[in-house]
Structure 1
Amino acid sequence: MDIRWLQDFLALAELRNFTRAAEFRNLSQAAFSRRIQSLEHWVGTGLVVKGSQPVRLTDAGEQFREGAQVSVERLLETRAAIRSSQFEVMSQIRLAMPNVLARSDFRQLLGVIGTGARSSFSVIVGTTAEVTARYLAGDADLLLAHDCPMLPSHESLAAQDRLVLRADRFLPYAVRGRDFGFPGTPRTPFPLIAYAQRAYFAQLFEHILSRAGNRLSYRMAVQCDMSDVLKEVIVAGHGVGWMPESAVDAASAALIAPVGGPEWELPMEICAYRPRRSPSPQVDAVWQALAAKVP
């Protein structure tokens, strides 16, 4: 039995949807379903009610969920303790952050810690969903990620220590001098530069869309899950796209600007997360250094 099967099952039990759980675990839906089936064969009974939407667990599945959660937590805690005992040899802090923050905040993070820090860093980057999954799986000691009070990035992060580093905003941008008729009309929709559906920022856009009702009319022009790519497309004048304000550096700000008013933006926060039980004194030291710099 593979611990990843348990993590897959717990993701499915929380998200109640095979597609969303597979995306969160960074697997194809077919591969994810095979893992769940393998786990059911190992347990010896069905854990999921077949065909239920949203997904429901069987009585055995509910019973198994409790044991699986405890087992995964204990295994990860044990691994963290073993690594902590070897930390003087390893001396490396594992940091996970999405691509958009790796470009805008990693240098600032190193500046906060200072050049005299006695730790080295291993940095895991990817989409918000990917790095969050890897952090929750125990592959990183610290996570830096965006979080929106109206739409938390992941429920499991509520059980982690959380430190708000600074405020950010998620708002629409277009090349300067053009607004593309934003927010559009049914007869003249504006071209949208959008995030792929699996991206956390796509969920934020869907929230803005639902909040706006019928006041936003668009046609899809480009779709991608990386803010850097979207920014280049916006700079090239292909349409309007939402991005974190922190992703727009001074050079880009000379070329693109927000469009619309405050009703089209969402407040966000750039946050650091760590397990309630910190794995090492080195991680504690980094956490305290970050906390000391928070306004």
Structure 2
Amino acid sequence: MELKWLIDFTALVEHGSFSKAAESRFVTQPAFSRRIRSLENWLGVSLVDRDQYPTTLTPTGVAFAEQAQQLINQTYAVRQQMQAISQPREQVQVISQHALAVSFFPDWMQTLEKSGSDTLIKVEAGNLHDAMDAFLSGNGDFLLSYASHEVFQQMQRDDIESLHVGTDRLVPVSLVKEGLLLFGEDLQRPVRLLSHPSESFFGRLLQQRCLADLTDKVQLHSVCENALSEALKALVLKGHGMAWVPESLIADELASGQLAILPEPFASVELSIKLYRLGKPANAACEAFWEHLQA
């Protein structure tokens, strides 16, 4: 049995539909449905009456809803207790998107070190779905991520605070050979696109801000999808196509001329970098960390 199945089920209880619950968990509806099925198979009971519309819980599902939330709370409470016993030194755990852990955090660390604290800063990097999942489940003190109101509505809660800690841009780039863009200059033929999955954070943001406007101007031919911006960068550097990647991730390559930003009609997307915290600080070190950043 996996903890995320319990969290999925509580999301279904909260939202009352598979589609809305799946969206809140940053997974596709078929994947979400499979996870609910997996939970039911493990329990050996049916939690959802699939003959009813809208989504209706079975009597067993209603009874299990409270138990599932208790199990989630107990699991994280035990984890926190064990960490407190085994780690007497104060720690701050930051859950970060992969790209920011690579491109933003190393420079930002200099700011954090100026606090003069001996606190151990632990960074756990992952894709946005897993990072948000861990953060909202209480599996970390802070979430460092790119932010967008259009596709980030889960963070618009009264118990979540945020600080703006930086900016970035999602830029369309291509490898440069002999002073010319390898992709994106000749718009009379399809442009090879190395894309973010459509259900990912960057994928949805690009669809809303860029791709829809390019439909009548450029024929994009998607040749590879990858949720990791670092992987897309590597593919661009190998000359496999163009891609939108965070500007901070390719600063050196842009400065050297190895990569270049595509001109219009391709467009960039402004990005805000935020640090989030959920509820009250777990310890004095977390509060000092937050106050230092506010100052």
- 1:222 is matched with which residue? 224
Contact 1:84 / 1:279 at 8 angstroms: preserved in 2?
no
- 1:141 is matched with which residue? 141
Letter aligned with residue 216 of structure 2: N
Contact 1:183 / 1:260 at 8 angstroms: preserved in 2?
no
Letter aligned with residue 145 of structure 1: S
Distance change >3 Å, CA 236–CA 283, structure 1 → 2 = same
For residue 35 of structure 1, report the CA deviation from its aligned partner: 3.2
- 1:97 is matched with which residue? 96
Letter aligned with residue 257 of structure 1: A
Query: How many Å separate the matches in 2 of 1:251 and 1:67?
Result: 52
Contact 2:25 / 2:133 at 8 angstroms: preserved in 1?
no
Letter aligned with residue 95 of structure 1: V
- 2:55 is matched with which residue? 57
Contact 1:125 / 1:131 at 8 angstroms: preserved in 2?
yes
Is 2:194 the partner of 1:193? Answer: yes
Distance change >3 Å, CA 229–CA 204, structure 1 → 2 = same
- 1:257 is matched with which residue? 260
Letter aligned with residue 277 of structure 2: R
Letter aligned with residue 201 of structure 1: F
Identity of aligned residues (%): 19
- 1:205 is matched with which residue? 206
- 2:164 is matched with which residue? 164
Which SS does the other structure have where 2:279 is aligned? coil
Contact 1:169 / 1:265 at 8 angstroms: preserved in 2?
yes
Q: Which moved more, 1:15-24 or 1:102-111?
A: 15-24
For residue 59 of structure 1, report the CA deviation from its aligned partner: 5.9
Q: How do residues 228-247 of structure 1 correspond to structure 2 at under 5 angstroms?
A: 228-247=230-249
- How many residues get paired? 283
> Gaps spanning 5+ residues in structure 1: where?
none
Query: How many Å separate the matches in 1 of 2:261 and 2:31?
Result: 36
Distance change >3 Å, CA 165–CA 22, structure 1 → 2 = closer
Q: Which moved more, 1:58-67 or 1:213-222?
A: 58-67
- 1:287 is matched with which residue? 290
Letter aligned with residue 112 of structure 1: T
- 2:174 is matched with which residue? 174
For residue 235 of structure 1, report the CA deviation from its aligned partner: 2.3
Query: How many Å separate the matches in 2 of 1:66 and 1:33?
Result: 13
Is 2:277 the partner of 1:274? Answer: yes
Distance change >3 Å, CA 50–CA 234, structure 1 → 2 = farther
For normalisation by structure 2, the TM-score amounts to 0.77
CA RMSD of aligned residues (A): 3.8
For residue 120 of structure 1, report the CA deviation from its aligned partner: 0.8
Distance change >3 Å, CA 192–CA 51, structure 1 → 2 = farther
Q: Which moved more, 1:79-88 or 1:278-287?
A: 79-88
For normalisation by structure 1, the TM-score amounts to 0.77
For residue 20 of structure 1, report the CA deviation from its aligned partner: 5.7
> Gaps spanning 5+ residues in structure 2: where?
none
Query: How many Å separate the matches in 2 of 1:277 and 1:83?
Result: 19
Query: How many Å separate the matches in 1 of 2:186 and 2:149?
Result: 24
Contact 1:135 / 1:142 at 8 angstroms: preserved in 2?
yes
- 2:127 is matched with which residue? 127
Query: How many Å separate the matches in 2 of 1:210 and 1:180?
Result: 19
Letter aligned with residue 265 of structure 1: S
Q: Which moved more, 1:115-124 or 1:270-279?
A: 115-124
Letter aligned with residue 192 of structure 1: L
| CA deviation profile, 1:191-245 (whole Å, cap 9, x unmatched) | 0011234532122222232354433421112222211121122223322110122
